[in-house]
Structure 1
Amino acid sequence: MKILGFYDELWPYATGTDGSIKAHTSTSREPDTDRVRQYLDTGDLILAIMSNDPDVMGGDRQIFNGSSIRTDGEYLWRQDLGHYYDNYDLRLPAAFLAQVRELDYQVPEVSDGQAAEVDALVTPLLNP
């Protein structure tokens, strides 16, 4: 299982992140940004966390339940990742984008084993 969007600002208690989210923005959008955003927003919800998270890029928006965790069985990500991808042209790994396109933007069904793997990986990162 790979963590998508493993940035300092989104995973403040984790070590070995990919650095600051601000270093992963682009000056151009993917042609299918809307479809990728929909994929991110509809990943299987594994861990629902009630929260009202600030926009870590400095925007005025608060993101409801942004800390919740979604997955497609291969990658996991915070629910607010779609917001950053869409609003700040966040660069996502080419392998992830290729997978999303190969799946025709449809999130596959996540098995109980995959859900348990996400839970085991994420729980220590959320609890300091």
Structure 2
Amino acid sequence: MTSLSLIGYWRSEGDLTSAFPDPRDWVDPSWDQDERDATSYYFAAGTLFRTFMGYSPCRICGVDNGVVEYTDGTYVWPEGLAHYIDEHAVRLPDVLVAHARERLNAVEDREAAPDWWLTATAKT
């Protein structure tokens, strides 16, 4: 069985023992706004993976930042990942930005056809 890759977790301020990165090191206010918005949009939701008993605080501003993890079948990330992107311009590694763009592009020009639904729910 293939593991899901855990992303979007950050070290708390002052915790020098954690292997997680400091989100402040990833702030990029020059990040293209359209790319940033698309990346945030993608990581704002997903398939619910698991829930936790308490809120995780933002490692930059301290706001409550969610209690769930999402997945897309490849990655697992905390609910608050989009907050870091939106509010603090935390730029994810290029491979994650490209992944989000590819997944969004895969459905962008597709149409939503009602045919299957109408057939499956037709009363005979």
> Aligned to 1:69, what secondary structure does the other structure show?
strand
Gaps of 5+ in 2: 108-124
Q: TM-score, normalised by structure 1?
A: 0.64
Query: How many residues are paired up?
Result: 101
Which piece of structure 1 moves more, 41-50 or 69-78?
41-50
Partner SS, residue 70 of structure 2: strand
Q: Please, what TM-score do these two structures have when normalized by structure 2? A: 0.66
Q: For 1:43-92, what per-residue CA distance to the aligned partner results, in whole angstroms no more than 9, with x for missing partners?
A: 11111225344332125x333xx241111111111100100111111011
Identity within the alignment, %? 26
Counterparts of 1:47 and 1:105, CA distance in 2: 27
Structure 1 contact 35–105 (Cα < 8 Å) conserved = no
1:28 is the counterpart of 2:2: no
Unaligned runs of 5+ in 1: 108-128
In 1, distance between residues paired with 2:105 and 2:44?
Answer: 11
Higher CA-based Rg = 2
Does structure 1 residue 3 correspond to structure 2 residue 24?
A: no
Q: What residue is the counterpart of 1:80 in the other structure?
A: 80
Q: Aligned partners of 2:58 and 2:105: how far apart in 1? A: 26
User: Using the alignment, how far apart are the partners of 1:62 and 1:37 within structure 2?
Assistant: 17
Give how far 1:97 is off. 1.1
Alignment partners' CA distance in 2, 1:47 and 1:55? 19
Aligned mate of 1:44, from 47, 50, 70: 47
